Amino acid sequence: MSEPTIVIEPVSPIIGCEVSGVDLSKPLSAFTIEALRDALLDYGVIFIRDQDISPAQQMTVAQAFGEPDEYPFVEGLPGYPCVTPVLKLAHETVNFGGLWHSDTTYQECPPMGTILHARTLPPVGGDTLFASMSAAYEALSDGLKEMLSGLKAVNSAHKSRVTDTRSYRVKDTGKDTQNSIMEALHPVVRTHPETGKKALYVNGAHTTRFEGMTVQESEGLLGFLFRHQVREEFTCRLRWTPGSIAFWDNRCTQHFPLNDYTGHERLLHRITLKGDVPR
């Protein structure tokens, strides 16, 4: 039996590609899994359109690339605890995760990747931006690279801006973790365990300060890094269509779901894959 013809088209010079010729509702061959993994490592995020799959099938896809994990703050779907509904109802004004971030970097082992499937979309709006942290690192001066080398930063689940973005879902389907201390220390510059590339590993949603420094002492340099790492030339934009899949490498990208569709419902199903300790 011949393998499918998989077509990969970059969506920007730096990050992101569209993949066609793949049907995720069917069992994936070793050839297809390898092709998708290579595309993920090459482009940071891959987009696959027109995928009519159930939560069970999304779980099967995720398991081909790693071990699914539960989100610590919100209950998953009934029978599928690792499938988190990323939902904004029509009357709500705040969207889930609505700021630039890498997923759950307050964990000792943050996710290696995330698979997001579009279920219900507004007629227009609700796009997601992605940014390459490898490109952001490479654009720094040699002097700043040297300064950041060896630095570590504290990442917390409880910065006020990010807790606000999950407030609606925590209220209706939240887990009993609100009083837990979720904090982790990670290198400011991370080396990708598969490609060996270096990437900035701080983000405005979770990073609070540098190790051994106060918040006030850290805010100047962190503020610069937060602005630098999402410069337009490091980004791409996904306009969601029904059935679209976005699969991103959480070790070297950030993302930002836009909140420009109040008055309309938006629902996506998210699965994160367990990662390793950042080095």
Q: CATH no. for residue 107? A: 3.60.130.10
What are the φ and ψ backbone dihedral angles of 37, each rounded to 5 degrees? -65, -40
In the residue annotation, 37 being an active-site residue is answered as: no
Please provide the DSSP assignment of 195-262 as one string. T--EEE---TTTEEEETTS-HHHHHHHHHHHHHHTT-GGGEEEE---TT-EEEEETTTEEEEE----T
Domain that holds residue 247: 7-273
pLDDT of the residue at 227:
98
In the residue annotation, 270 being an active-site residue is answered as: yes
> Is residue 207 a part of any domain in this protein?
yes
Gap between the Cα atoms of 98 and 256, Å rounded? 6
In the residue annotation, 101 being an active-site residue is answered as: yes
CA 165 to chain CA mean position, Å: 15
> Is residue 1 a part of any domain in this protein?
no
Q: Do 225 and 202 touch, CB atoms closer than 8 A?
A: yes
Catalytic residue among 101, 166, 251, 266: 101
Catalytic residue among 37, 117, 190, 270: 270
Catalytic residue among 37, 103, 166, 169: 103
Number of domains the chain contains: 1
In the residue annotation, 228 being an active-site residue is answered as: no
For the chain of 279 residues, list the mean pLDDT of each consecutive stretch of 10.
86 98 97 98 98 98 98 95 97 95 97 98 98 98 97 94 68 64 95 98 98 98 98 98 98 98 98 98
Catalytic residue among 117, 186, 255, 266: 255
pLDDT of the residue at 177:
62
